[in-house]
Every structure is written in C-alpha cells, then in structure tokens.
Chain A
Amino acid sequence: MSIAITTQIICFSVLSIVILIGALGVVLLESIVYSAFLLGGVFMSVAGLYLLLNASFVAAAQVLVYVGAVNVLIIFAIMLVNKKEDLKPISDIKSRRIISTSICVTLLSLLIRVDLTNVWSLSSPQNSIGEESTIRIGEHLFSDYLLPFEVASVLLLMAMIGAIVLARRDVMSRDISTGLPVDQELIEKSSEPLLSNKN
C-alpha cells in the first residue's frame, strides 16, 4: 500500500463515523428528503472505504450506480409521492419499538462478538494487486463468471420492462371498437384512485 498507516487510520475513522451517523440520520430523521440526501453521503463514504481497500473500479461503480442512479431514483420517487399526511397513531408502538430495538442490539452484539473472537486466517495484506484489480475483475467476468454476467444483463432488462409496466398509467393507445388512435390528452388525465375513500 502506498498510503502511510496514520493517514489510513484517519481516513478510515472519518469515513466510518460519516457512514454510521449518516445511516442513523437516514432511519431517524423526520424529513424524508434529508434522509435521501444523507443516503447519498453514506454511499459516497462507502465508496471511500472501497478506495481504502485498493478497489478503485468498485468504488467508481458504487459512485456511478448508487449515487448516480439509485439515489436519484429515490429522490424522484419522493418527489412523486410527496404528500403531507397525518399518520394514524398505532396503539402498541412502544412495545414494537422496544422489541425491534432489542432484536437489533442483540444481533449487533452477536455479530461484533463473532468479528472479534474468530481467528481469521489472513493472507498478508501487503502484496495487494492494487491497480491491477480492474484487469482481474474483467478476466473474472469473461471467464469463470461469464454465466452470472449474462444472467445479470437479462435481469436488468427484465427489471427495466417490469418497472415500466408497473409504473405506467393504464391508458389505451387506440380505441378498442373503432381501432382509431385515442386522444393523447387522456394520458395526462388524472385517474381515480381505486381503493381509497376520498376526503
């Protein structure tokens, strides 16, 4: 590794603190818009951790896919469903909070115990391949991981078509009885919500 150990420790501490505080903000903050932007910060910090682990290609992929696509998609979704609504109070919210928090703390302590007590058989981290990792990932993708790679492309196509089918409005492009194309203004017509009582 090329960076001095003190610099690495400082970078790691700052990135971990940003990740953990940002994640807490994502789940705890009242405003969902702040949560979305904090989520972008968490994704960027995770990309920084990948850089610290000598994985520049995965860090770039993380920034491009998570910050550039997933986070923007989430912000679009917030924009589309942004409505102030008064949530109905739940009667047993306190017991739910207690149970879920205790489950999470138990799981966390279990995981940390496993992390600290297990003896990991590490190879020497010093002879890392560094910049060659991009070449190695490409070799993996086109030799022993070729089938998952192709399946991933089919999966992305299916997800794209599925998302379009699920999210579009049900509008006929042509009239069923006459076969003529319908007025395109109908696409922007506000549709009646099905299962809700209007207020």
Chain B
Amino acid sequence: MMNLESIPLQAFLIVSSALFCIGIWGLLNSRNAVRVLMSIELMLNAVNINLMAFSSYVDNNLIQGQVFTIFVITVAAAEAAVGLAILLSLYRNRVTVDMESFNLLKW
C-alpha cells in the first residue's frame, strides 16, 4: 500500500487528459451533430478538471483556478445554447443532422 497523504495531482491530470482525448475522438468521428456538441462539452469538462486540480494543489490560497472554472462554465452554457440553435436552424433547412451533408462550404 502506498503511503500517501493525499491523492497525487497526476491522477487528476491523467483523468482529464483521457477525458479530453475521448472528446476529441468523438468530435472527429461523430456523424450526428448533437453528438458533436456533446463531445465539445466533454472537452470543456476535461479542461475544467485540470483548472480545478491546479487551483487546489498549486494555488490553494488564492483560488484563481476556481474563478476561471466559473467563467468556463458560463461560456460553455452560452455556447451550448447558440450551438443548439444553429443546429435547429440547420435541421430546418436540410432535414438531417448528418455532419457529412453539411458541405455547402466544402471546396
């Protein structure tokens, strides 16, 4: 049994790295536009875990990382609202949510 006084910082960093990479994989491979938005939320959560871990382990007196996390959550909520509105208007014009069919700007 390891003799620890607390969970190492690296454990949090590894979890957030894995979550971020899963988000990127989903972003690249999803064909449903809603799933792409979900993958973006996963990546934002990974970044938040990173910020919170550093705020707790490196800077636990002036917890500036927690303030940054609050701002990231705010921006993520705004992004989700606008993203889903764009998705709805796309669906109204194209009657599909397949990412492969949104190729109007493709060269």
Contact = CB atoms under 8 A, between A and B. Distances in A.
A32 B41 CA distance: 15
Interface string A45-67: 01001101111011001100110
B56 A125 contact: yes
A70 B10 CA distance: 29
Contacts, number: 258
B105 interface: no
B106 interface: no
Interface string B12-28: 11110111111111101
Contacts of B13: 111, 115
B74 A155 contact: yes
B61 A23 contact: no
Interface in B53-95: 53, 55-64, 66-67, 69-71, 73-82, 84-89, 91-95
A61 B73 contact: yes
Interface of A: 1, 5, 8-9, 12, 16, 19-20, 23-24, 26-27, 32, 35-36, 39, 42-43, 46, 49-50, 52-55, 57-58, 61-62, 65-66, 69-70, 73-74, 76-78, 80-81, 83, 85, 87-88, 90, 96-97, 100-101, 103-105, 107-108, 111-112, 115-116, 120-123, 125-129, 133, 136-137, 140-141, 145, 148, 152, 155-156, 158-160, 162-164, 166-167, 169, 191, 193-196
A193 B88 CA distance: 12
Query: Which of B41, B60, B78, B97 has the most chain A CB atoms inside 10 A of its CB?
Result: B60
A155 B87 CA distance: 20
Contacts of B86: 166
Nearest to B81: A163
Contact of B53 (A53, A65, A136, A140): A53
B73 to A, nearest CB: 5
